[in-house]
Amino acid sequence: MGSFKIQNNKILDQVEVKLGDRTYDIVIGNNLIEELEIYNLSSSEQIVIITDEVVSPLYLQKITNALGRLGFAFFSITIAAGETQKSLDNVGKIVGKLLSKKVSRDAMIIALGGGVVGDLAGFVASVYQRGIKFLQVPTTLLAQVDSSVGGKTAVNHSLGKNMIGAFHQPKKVIIDLATLGTLPSRELKSGYAEVIKYGCILDKDFFSWLENNVENLLNRSADHLAFAVKRSCEIKAEVVSLDEREGNSRALLNFGHTFGHAIESLAGYGVWLHGEAVGFGMILAAELSNQMGLIDKNSNERIRNIVAKFGLPVDWPNMDINQLVECMMVDKKFKNGNPKLILLKDLGVAKVISVNKNSIEKFLANHII
């Protein structure tokens, strides 16, 4: 298949997500989108590219040109952009398109875009005819370091984010760092929130490295981006390999997310970017950790400072505390209304801890003043 060879310098790193017979690679490099050889497609399978209206004009043609050149059968579906597109309604519409094009169980879906496209296309792949294959080609930093890796797929319900979903691992994640060149600055910063998170929960050295390289990272230095993405993927791959279905340690990846999801949901999806809400959520979780005698004041401040340095919001939003806590209560990690938060014992050391609802309310009320 194919008459070309990938220039070796295009692939920078390869990270394996070890999951038995569902093991797959995360391939990281530059200008990989048009390198079909990496995709491992079979000429006998139909290919459906799902993307959005923002990513489509930038990168869709790079894939379709390559697919056309090699004679693959393919078509593309372009959705509108934004978190509101992650809906059950869109699942029905996309399935309708697949059925009308007689897409079979052996087809391959390619999710080309950010977290919204990846989550929606991945969920469609997980339920279409009870599950078909898919590839993740994430084009935002957030998707590259987080949502495209680990097989979590979902759509939103009006009563909660990611409440309808599935664990469905991709066959491969193809990370083209060149796509970060066109990423709006606000989205780049939002992506860094998840990168910071990995340092907070599992790698103090990485956290320090991030502190020392904020400027290079915000200036999109190729080498720095490559390392930040690779290290994030390595940490996520390791966590997912140990606990695919979040029975246990995978929950640590939700550091900052319980507060963050509630902020996103209460503000209305799309008002806060996911990473912005997670960044602020990490500040809250770190402060609560400190108040509960877990991390020291210095670590707490380092977290607040790094979030601020990456240009993410650090000021309390104008939100009703009771409503916020109610939003937190529908969190998937809560058992029988017993709130569990990811808190820090140290930089690089996270733990799941039960905190009762009243304590959270009191903490937030004090925080606001």
The string of DSSP codes covering 13-49 is EEEEE--GGG-EEEEEESS-TT-HHHHT--TTS-EEE
Closer residue to a second copy, CB minimum distance, 153 or 179: 153
Site string for a second copy, 72-111 (x = CB under 8 A): ----------------x--xx--xx--xx-x-xxx-----
Candidates 129-137, 219-227, 234-242, 294-302; binding stretch for a second copy (CB under 8 A):
129-137
Q: How is residue 104 annotated by DSSP?
A: -
CA nearest to 140, candidates 179, 109, 110, 169: 179
Verify whether residue 161 is a known catalytic residue: no
CB 180 within 8 A of CB 150: no
User: Is 318 an interacting residue with respect to a second copy (CB under 8 A)?
Assistant: no
Is residue 131 part of the contact set for a second copy (CB under 8 A)? yes
Does residue 245 interact with a second copy by CB under 8 A?
Answer: yes
Is residue 20 at the binding interface for a second copy, with CB under 8 A as the rule?
no
Contact with a second copy (CB under 8 A) among 77, 141, 154, 188: 154
Please give the Cα distance from 132 to 305 (Å, whole number): 44
At 52, the amino acid letter reads D
35 counts as catalytic: no
Residue 70 touching a second copy (CB under 8 A) = no
Q: Cβ distance 60 to 78 under 8 Å? A: yes
Binding pattern to a second copy, positions 25-64, x when CB under 8 A?
A: -------------------xxx------------------
Instruction: State the Cα angle at 275 between 84 and 345, rounded to 5°.
Output: 135
Nearer to a second copy, 209 or 334 (CB): 334
Cα separation, 315 vs 320, whole angstroms: 14
Out of 70, 178, 330, 349, point to the residue binding a second copy (CB under 8 A).
Answer: 330
What is the set of active-site residues? 130, 152, 194, 236, 246, 250, 254, 257, 261, 274
